[in-house]
Amino acid sequence: MKAIIVEPKKTGTVRLENISEPQPKEGSVLVRAVAVGVCGTDVEIAEGKYGWAPQGQQYLVLGHESLGRVIDPGPSSGLKKDDLVVGIVRRPDPVPCPNCAVGEWDMCRNGLYTERGIKEIHGFMSELWRIEPEYAIKVDPSLGLLGVLLEPSSVVAKALEQVGLIGRRSFWEPKTLLVTGAGPVGLLAALFAKIYGLDVHVLDRVEGGPKADLVRELGGTYHSGSVKDLKFEPDAIIECTGVGQVIGESIQKIGANGIVCLAGIGHGGSGLSANIADVASSAVLRNNVIVGSVNANKRHWYRASQYLARADRSWLMKLITRIEKPESFMNALQRKPDDIKVVIQFSEI
């Protein structure tokens, strides 16, 4: 079968290759791939900066934002042939650490977790894949191709849950949420926060265009420019850029008792625009919490699937700005200015 593979940490090794079909030991549910979303993590892996092959193997099948149709549900999954499913990304560490032991693999303590398409388990960019029944999430059939947005939605559902849990440490009635970065995660965060009834603001470096339109269609306010110039203090910020300056300004802009949730993974850059002690003292004096959030457990996947099912389909469809064939994987892995979510389609929905 065709698969998009990479030799992790080696540049220029991504390729479409024929590999053998997955073995039943990889999961009793056999799935035909429909589509796989591409995100910054895939690009990093393709550039040789991140990623790990399964132990004893040279290559990793890429892809962690899946969508597929069940070919064979196996003996005990409760799924039916032709059900639309998405695969959970992370697996608990084998020790297991206390968090993995209770199903919170997203909070793994020892870093020995594995992740499909990222860390030591093959991903979903192959014509067929297998999954363990307990890691297959059934998708509302009316979502169709939009089911491919479930993985980034699960990441958002966790980040928002974290903010809600932390907020409850004191009397808290959040009204205003700022999202920095209008990529898929940022826009999905804006969508879900609107479902919560918050006043949503989204800031991105582009001045207008489809991202700004999407925010306005939600009833949110779009800003370009810098966080420090905003004329209000948000109750919570979901930071999706991973850019040092945006992070530093977010911490200084957040309102008293407010929470900055860091959900973007960035590297390097020119450092904080402000002195770290000044950033810290503003957090101390205003009881702020700065929290990192990565990945998602089953609770978040469930919640994300509920939010997606409630969302406006035509709005969600505009998040998918490019659909590529597996043969055009190099194009799919290249970021273009108007991209929001690029999807590689393996078969008809």
Applying CB under 6 A, among 115, 120, 239, 249 the residue interacting with ligand BGC is 115
Which of residues 52 and 315 has its CB atom nearest to ligand BGC in the complex?
Answer: 52
Contact 42, 63 (CB under 8 A): yes
Determine, following the binding rule CB under 6 A, whether residue 41 of this chain makes contact with ligand BGC.
yes
Which of residues 5 and 155 has its CB atom nearest to ligand BGC in the complex?
Answer: 155
Determine, following the binding rule CB under 6 A, whether residue 89 of this chain makes contact with ligand BGC.
yes
Determine, following the binding rule CB under 6 A, whether residue 118 of this chain makes contact with ligand BGC.
yes
Determine, following the binding rule CB under 6 A, whether residue 294 of this chain makes contact with ligand BGC.
yes
Which of residues 150 and 212 has its CB atom nearest to ligand BGC in the complex?
Answer: 150
Rounded to a whole number of angstroms, the minimum distance from the CB of residue 278 to ligand BGC is 30
Applying CB under 6 A, among 61, 155, 189, 193 the residue interacting with ligand BGC is 155
Count of residues engaged in binding ligand BGC, rule: CB under 6 A: 10
Which of residues 158 and 211 has its CB atom nearest to ligand BGC in the complex?
Answer: 158
- CB-based contacts of 315: which residues, under 8 Å, 6+ apart? 191, 214, 217, 218
Determine, following the binding rule CB under 6 A, whether residue 108 of this chain makes contact with ligand BGC.
no
> Which has the closest alpha carbon to 234: 189, 273, 268, 269?
189
Distance in angstroms (rounded) separating the CA atoms of residues 332 and 208: 23
φ and ψ at residue 132, rounded to 5 degrees: -75, 140
> Which has the closest alpha carbon to 219: 196, 249, 185?
196
Q: Hey, what are 265's tokens? A: 């993974």
Name the one residue in this structure whose structure tokens are 């990623």.
51
φ and ψ at residue 216, rounded to 5 degrees: -65, -40
Chain center to CA of 24: 28
Rounded to a whole number of angstroms, the minimum distance from the CB of residue 134 to ligand BGC is 17
Rounded to a whole number of angstroms, the minimum distance from the CB of residue 166 to ligand BGC is 20
Rounded to a whole number of angstroms, the minimum distance from the CB of residue 294 to ligand BGC is 5
Chain center to CA of 146: 14
Q: Which residues bind ligand BGC (CB under 6 A)?
A: 39, 41, 64, 89-90, 115, 118, 155, 294-295
